[in-house]
């Protein structure tokens, strides 16, 4: 049986509709691209700032081209993309991924080492599985203690400070900024926008050569249209 509606209530609703949300035009967009795979990625090795700094593998070079086309298509289909900027970290894998995107967008990339991956010190080049087996407690501290650092490395707190500094510069540029970086810097940005801490952001997936987007609207609201977009790699 259909629910009965009080005509007086229906009239009231019709006469006093909820006000529409404020118009949101001219968002500042940051497209975060994780670098494509390297031999270290493919063998599950720790690869941070200050380590071996490997180049992309053959698979990685193909992924970079695919990611570049996906970024180009995304920018071209965004009606109010505004000026388009391209920033990469200083690491070889991001520079090479960024070079493919620069060619696709016909823009000049700018290097900013604040977007570099965290430095893992004496663990650079080690195999994650072996660390999880033989140094599980220290590995857990690296994931959960924001002030823990490996010898010769940096803490999460130090990483967060420089990445958020770089993120603010990207927002100040306006328009659309494509940033080619690594996994943990992307998670730092998402944690800030979503209001989650570093112990919870591990639930977010950011695969190699994936795309993630953040939008900042004129009224101060931030949104995350998508995370870990990888359809271009299929």
pLDDT tens for residues 182-195?
999 999 999 999 99
Averaged over 41-68, what is the pLDDT? Answer: 98
What is the structure's pLDDT at 9? 40
Return the higher-pLDDT residue of 19 and 222: 222
Residue 92's CATH number: 3.40.50.1240
What is the structure's pLDDT at 165? 98
Which sequence positions are flagged as catalytic?
Answer: 35, 117
Residue 181 has pLDDT above 90, yes or no: yes
pLDDT tens for residues 162-178?
999 999 999 999 999 99
Domain presence at residue 186: yes
Domain presence at residue 54: yes
Range of the domain at 47: 25-119+158-233
Phi and psi dihedrals of 66, rounded to 5? Answer: -65, -40
What is the structure's pLDDT at 25? 57
Domain presence at residue 6: no
Confidence band, pLDDT 50/70/90 cuts, at residue 11: very low
Give me the chain's average pLDDT, please.
90
What is the structure's pLDDT at 6? 44
pLDDT tens for residues 83-131?
999 999 999 999 999 999 999 999 999 999 999 999 999 999 999 999 9
Domain presence at residue 10: no
Residue 231 has pLDDT above 50, yes or no: yes
Confidence band, pLDDT 50/70/90 cuts, at residue 20: very low
Residue 14 has pLDDT above 50, yes or no: no
pTM of the full predicted structure?
A: 0.88
Number of domains observed in the structure of the chain = 1
Phi and psi dihedrals of 212, rounded to 5? Answer: -135, 140
Domain presence at residue 18: no
Domain presence at residue 222: yes
- Facing residues of 86 across strands? 109, 178
Residue 13 has pLDDT above 80, yes or no: no
Return the higher-pLDDT residue of 9 and 228: 228
Residue 75 has pLDDT above 80, yes or no: yes
Averaged over 203-225, what is the pLDDT? Answer: 95
Joined together, the tokens standing for residue 154 give: 């940096």
Residue 144 has pLDDT above 60, yes or no: yes
In 42-198, DSSP assigns E strands to 84-88, 109-111, 176-181
Q: What share of the chain is helix, strand, coil (3-state, %, to 5)?
A: 45, 15, 40
Q: 215: burial class by Cβ within 10 Å (0-12, 13-18, 19+)?
A: middle
Domain presence at residue 69: yes
Averaged over 37-61, what is the pLDDT? Answer: 97
Residue 196 has pLDDT above 90, yes or no: yes
């Amino acid at each position: 049986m259909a629910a009965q509606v009080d005509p007086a209530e229906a009239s009231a609703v019709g006469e006093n509709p909820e006000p529409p949300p404020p118009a949101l035009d001219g968002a500042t967009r940051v497209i975060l691209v994780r670098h494509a795979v390297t031999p270290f990625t493919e063998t599950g090795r720790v690869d941070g700032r200050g380590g071996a700094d490997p180049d992309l593998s053959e698979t990685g070079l193909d992924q970079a081209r695919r990611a570049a086309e996906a970024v180009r298509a995304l920018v071209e289909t965004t009606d109010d993309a505004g000026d388009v900027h391209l920033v990469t970290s200083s690491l070889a894998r991001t520079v090479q991924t960024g070079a493919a995107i620069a060619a696709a967008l016909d823009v000049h990339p700018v290097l900013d080492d604040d977007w570099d991956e965290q430095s893992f010190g004496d663990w650079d080049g080690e195999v994650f599985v072996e660390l999880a087996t033989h140094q599980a407690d220290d590995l857990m501290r690296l994931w959960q203690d924001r002030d823990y650092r490996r010898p010769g490395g940096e803490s999460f707190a130090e990483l967060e400070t420089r990445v958020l500094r770089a993120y603010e510069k990207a927002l100040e540029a306006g328009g659309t900024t494509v940033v080619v970086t690594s996994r943990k810097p992307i998670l730092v940005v998402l944690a800030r926008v979503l209001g989650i801490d570093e112990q919870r952001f591990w639930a977010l997936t950011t695969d190699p050569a994936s795309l993630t987007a953040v939008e900042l609207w004129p009224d101060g609201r931030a949104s995350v249209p998508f995370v870990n977009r990888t359809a271009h790699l299929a």
